[in-house]
Chains A and B, each alone.
Chain A
Amino acid sequence: MTRLEGLSDAELVRRCRTDDPAAWNELVERYSRYVYAIAVRGFRLGDEDAEDVFQDVFTRAFLRLETLRDDSAFRPWIAQLTRRRCLDFLAGSGREVLMEDPTTDEGSSDLDEVEDAFAVREALAGLSEACQEILDRFFAQDQSYRTISGELDIPTGTIASRIARCLSRLRDELEGRNEATDRSSE
């Protein structure tokens, strides 16, 4: 972990305002996949179009950072910038904008899924390295218990219980974040 990875968004924004390029680097790193996911998953943009939106969003974010009123609200702010830019892009390209908030047949929004995914990603960062590793291997890399056991040198019979324990911790992290969000919005 770099020295900046553990800093809050608010602290990074504050440092950006003092011309700290490393802080901006960290913000871009932290939100690059998020911005890209909104463009691709939420607005169905192709790779090249998403790349244009990506460049534009971060350019605007940098130039307008002074207008961000609440330093801790960087994430909703850049999400809004991205959504607006995607809509502008679709309108400018003459393509029909089907809906502002693309919704799947099941009734859940793709943008909500991106938000959920990002919340999980942030919560994962609050777990131990061991938990992050085992969850990543099982859920993201599709590894079997046997493979995980072999690569991490952990008895096969304990893999499922370790994953379950790590998921409980992840749930605690997420619930803690939700409570904090609820408090800040009151």
Chain B
Amino acid sequence: MRPRASEPATRGYLDLAGSHASKAGLDRSDGVRRLEKRSHIAFAQVVGHGGEKCTNAGTAVVDSSRLMPDDYLALRLDELLARVAADGRAPGSGSAAALTVAFAASLVSMVARCSQESWTDALGVVAQAKVISERVAELANTDGTAWEEALAALRDAEAGSSTDDRRDFSLEQKLERAAAVPLEIASLGADAAALAALTAERSDGTYRADAAAAAALAAGGARAAAHLVLVNLGVRSDDPRLARALASEQVANDIAARLLDSGR
């Protein structure tokens, strides 16, 4: 039988351990999540693999048996493009905007990685770009799901009674979710553009054009996403969510314009 917190001589200490167990229970999920995420501080990027030479890492092999039905990230590029071009279903413009921002962040990563000999903090930029790329790429999947759910809800609403409050509430929730995803994509587009600006300023001159191109892509993704926020919400121009999306678009556009102009 294992000892419990009942032996008199040890009760004080073990009660203390118990209280910490409870405390850990309260914030356990958050704690483990943070531990995991902190290991994500692109630990390998900062300490290990970040030191790789600026070379092509090769082609990834995809195990198609592990694909989720809508896991666009695991599709081959030609398959993904065919899915986008196909009739009706996701992925649509939101996923395309997300992937455009992901490309931008990956380009920033490449430029920073190739500049690490002359730029002490380059790997810190690689780590941030990796995080932005991962977050926004995941949103490509999320957007597809949200968009399809919103479409289905719209069809239900059109087919049913307009006085069905529950259905209206559900539709409203789904439309809001369909707008929340591009709002986040726009925000990450602004971050990718900001990172491109820093990279253009500090990187090896050979790669500055790539940093400017990254900013242009980020701005394009942010602009498309902000447009989707407007359309999906069907909101008035003073809605704070739309204002946030437009602010992200503006930041990314300004950076892209500045970097592109300076290279001409």
Measured CB to CB, the residues of A under 8 A from B are 21, 24-25, 28-29, 32-34, 36-37, 40-41, 47, 51, 54-56, 58-60, 62-63, 113-114, 116-118, 120-121, 124, 135-136, 138-140, 142, 144-146, 156-157, 159-161, 163-168, 170-171, 174-175
Contact = CB atoms under 8 A, between A and B. Distances in A.
A21 B40 CA distance: 34
Interface string B22-36: 011100100111111
Given A146-B248, A164-B125, A156 B194 contact: yes
B10 A62 contact: yes
A167 B123 contact: yes
Contact of A25 (B20, B40, B123, B131): B20
Given A55-B17, A62-B13, A165-B124, A33 B24 contact: yes
B194 A116 contact: no
Contacts of B28: 33, 36, 47
A120 B121 contact: no
Contacts of B12: 21
A28 B39 CA distance: 21
B10 A63 contact: yes
Given A120-B41, A156-B194, A170-B46, A25 B128 contact: no
Contact of A168 (B3, B14, B123, B248): B123
Contact of A120 (B23, B39, B197): B39
A164 B124 contact: yes
Interface residues of B, number: 52
A34 B38 CA distance: 13
Nearest to A31: B20
Chain B interface main SS type = helix
B21 interface: yes
Contacts of B2: 56, 59-60
B166 interface: no
Interface stretch (B78-86, B154-162, B170-178, B185-193): B185-193
A160 B16 contact: no
Contacts of B16: 21, 24-25, 28
B24 A54 contact: yes
A54 B24 CA distance: 10
Interface of B: 2-5, 10, 12-14, 16-18, 20-21, 23-25, 28, 31-41, 43, 46-47, 120-125, 127-128, 131, 135, 187-188, 190-191, 194-195, 197-198, 247-248, 251
Nearest to B129: A160
16 contacts: A21-B13, A40-B32, A47-B28, A56-B2, A62-B10, A113-B39, A114-B35, A120-B43, A140-B33, A140-B38, A144-B191, A159-B194, A167-B121, A168-B121, A174-B47, A175-B47
A83 B28 CA distance: 19
The 10 A-B pairs of least Cβ separation, nearest first, read: A164-B124, A167-B124, A117-B39, A164-B121, A58-B17, A117-B35, A33-B31, A32-B24, A28-B20, A144-B187
